[in-house]
Amino acid sequence: MARVLVVDDSQETCDLLELLLGEGLGLEVAVVKATRPEDALRHLRGGGFDLMLSDINLEASLDGLDLLKAAKPLGVETILLTGFGTLEKALEAVREGAFDFISKPWNNDDLKSLVKRALVMKGSGGGPKDPALGDDLHQSVMIGSSPKMMEVYRTIASLQNSRTTVLIIGESGTGKELVAQNIHLSSDRKACPFVAINCGALTEGLLESELFGHVKGAFTGAVADKKGLFEEASGGTIFLDEIGETSLGFQVRLLRVLQEHEVRKVGGNKTVKVDVRVIAASNRDLAAMVKAGKFREDLYYRLCVVEIRVPPVRERFSRDARTGQVVSDIPALMDHFLAECSRKDSQIYRLRADARKQLEGYSWPGNVREMGNIIEHLTQLSRGREITPDDFPEKIRDELRTKGTTLPLAPTPLLELIQDWDHLPTLEELERRYIQVLLKHEHRKSRIADILGKDRTTLYRKLKDLGLAEGPEEGL
């Protein structure tokens, strides 16, 4: 029988995990639960565990990464759960030897499948070995903890010491170059150059000259020998954006560079060895282009050793299996861009609650790039530091009008409260119930303050008055 230690500061979450692990795994599992990291350490030291499922953020002096470090020498595999997924956490989790990590709210089937795989591999002695990772973790501006973004983080983390080629697929504006930069910065090539070029912005001749270099007299204007970007990026990474826009003739030359690790300058007859990792990206379906004869199949497979799909903003969400609540990356992305503009302008910008809610319902066809531009537009043209729907550009207004976007109805539990007209609740009770609903589904007190139209100090006093305060004001 497999023994699993479940660690989360919420007793409800521990109970739910125990229930999930007791059904549908096809394995006998005994679950031990701990809501405090100190208790989890005591259980671990007692021995006999095969697997630990632990939240990363335990709101204590120790966190899930500390427990991971304690579990690893004891031979206990660890799966980390997080509601605040970041690339830094992914890199550190892999560095410390985590079996895997998964975001909250999780998909029940995905979680059970992951647990079963960990237990089966643990039983066979075939679990993943600790990779020899670098010591430095680089700060990333990749924002979001939705399952699809967690998969991107997981892949980047697994590539830390790999030199293989990578193909990044995603719509325009999703952040493909940012993914490439983070692959480079988390690798052992981080001290060498990262060179990016948009292949679709240059003609075939200019592109070859830029990438491979040219010799003096190779063409009109070639007044001296010039190194290409492959040579400039020696020891580092070259990022070929919009690779799907290149011609079949260029693709032949690029394929040779990838196969032979050498370049021949335009107009030259000598080859130069290059040590460069290649990362390519496209907003087009290269597999479909191969079938249509518009992209070389051999080059496609040479580039696509590892493929990363960067999700569009509209797909960056998850649904809580218990409540059905949709949790999106959009609020965190908007907060990031607001903070960027605030730092740049040395003043605080904020979105009024109704403006935030309506922007969350916008489709963002230009993805993260569009969001950054729109937020900057709103901060520069708003009538004050607080952004309202009146400040929206016309294209957002048009879409919201077409959708008929309105503010959401009050939560159902409150509506049910006023069905019994003989026992109407007081306004204080209504406020208490409403805040309880917000506290259940939103962990950020600053966000709750925005929704209620209060500042954080006023919110804290209100929580104390209603008996809902859980800690000191500094923790808001």
* Shared domain check, 95 and 58: yes
Closest CA to 43 of 15, 78, 7: 7
**Which amino acid would we find at residue 451?**
I
State residue 376's pLDDT score.
Answer: 93
Is 466 domain-assigned? yes
What span, in angstroms and rounded, lies between the C-alpha atoms of 334 and 326?
17
State residue 424's pLDDT score.
Answer: 61
Centroid of chain to Cα 375: 20
State residue 322's pLDDT score.
Answer: 56
> pLDDT tens digits, residue range 177-207?
999 999 998 888 988 999 999 999 888 888 9
* Shared domain check, 300 and 152: yes
Out of 309, 338, 364, pick the residue that ends a domain: 309
State residue 441's pLDDT score.
Answer: 66
* Contact criterion met (CB below 8 Å) for 61 and 10: no
State residue 134's pLDDT score.
Answer: 34
Is 165 domain-assigned? yes
State residue 132's pLDDT score.
Answer: 31
Closest CA to 105 of 5, 221, 13: 13
Out of 66, 92, 124, pick the residue that ends a domain: 124
What beta strand segments (E) does 268-355 contain?
271-273, 277-282, 306-309, 317-319, 326-328, 350-351
Encoding tokens for residue 213? Answer: 């270099």
Out of 403, 434, 459, pick the residue that ends a domain: 403
* Shared domain check, 156 and 278: yes
Is 142 domain-assigned? no
Rg (CA), the chain: 26
* Shared domain check, 214 and 242: yes
Closest CA to 239 of 188, 282, 208, 285: 282
Is 132 domain-assigned? no
CA dihedral 327, 330, 336, 338 (to 10 degrees): -130
In order of 373, 389, 421, the CA distances from 347 in angstroms are: 18, 20, 48
In order of 172, 207, 248, 328, 338, the CA distances from 290 in angstroms are: 20, 21, 11, 34, 41
Structural domain tally of the chain? 4
* Shared domain check, 247 and 170: yes
What span, in angstroms and rounded, lies between the C-alpha atoms of 476 and 469?
10
* Shared domain check, 208 and 244: yes
237 phi and psi, to 5 degrees? -130, 140
E strand or H helix at 91: helix 87-95
What span, in angstroms and rounded, lies between the C-alpha atoms of 173 and 195?
19
Cis peptide before 413 (omega within 30 of 0): no
* Shared domain check, 228 and 302: yes
Is 131 domain-assigned? no
What b/e string do you get for 137-150 counting C-beta neighbours within 10 Å, with b at 16 or more?
beebebbbbbbbbb
* Contact criterion met (CB below 8 Å) for 368 and 333: yes
CATH code of the domain in which 336 resides: 1.10.8.60
Encoding tokens for residue 208? Answer: 């070859």
* Shared domain check, 348 and 296: no
What span, in angstroms and rounded, lies between the C-alpha atoms of 474 and 476?
6
Is 133 domain-assigned? no
Max alpha carbon distance in the chain (Å)? 94
What span, in angstroms and rounded, lies between the C-alpha atoms of 286 and 375?
32
Give one DSSP letter per residue of 255-279, joined into a string.
Answer: HHHHHHSEEE-BT---EEE---EEE
What span, in angstroms and rounded, lies between the C-alpha atoms of 81 and 142?
19
State residue 295's pLDDT score.
Answer: 96
Closest CA to 41 of 19, 20, 66: 66
* Shared domain check, 183 and 299: yes
pTM, entire model: 0.63
State residue 188's pLDDT score.
Answer: 87
State residue 345's pLDDT score.
Answer: 85
CATH code of the domain in which 188 resides: 3.40.50.300
Within the chain, which residues score under 50 in pLDDT? 124-139, 406-418, 421, 472-476
Within 8 A by CB and 6+ apart from 222, the residues are 209, 214, 215, 216, 266, 267
Structural domain that includes position 88: 2-124
* Contact criterion met (CB below 8 Å) for 226 and 268: no
Within 8 A by CB and 6+ apart from 209, the residues are 218, 219, 222, 226, 228, 266
Is 130 domain-assigned? no
State residue 239's pLDDT score.
Answer: 97
Within 8 A by CB and 6+ apart from 56, the residues are 63, 64, 65, 80, 81, 82, 84, 89, 101
* Shared domain check, 302 and 209: yes
**β-strand pairing of 317-319 with 326-328:** antiparallel
* Shared domain check, 388 and 285: no
Within 8 A by CB and 6+ apart from 397, the residues are 389
Overall residue count recorded for the chain in this entry = 476
CA dihedral 190, 151, 132, 162 (to 10 degrees): -60
In order of 149, 222, 360, 372, the CA distances from 364 in angstroms are: 17, 44, 9, 11
Q: How is residue 442 annotated by DSSP?
A: -
* Shared domain check, 270 and 158: yes
In this structure, the number of other CB atoms found within 10 A of the CB of residue 167 comes to 22
Is 229 domain-assigned? yes
What span, in angstroms and rounded, lies between the C-alpha atoms of 99 and 114?
9
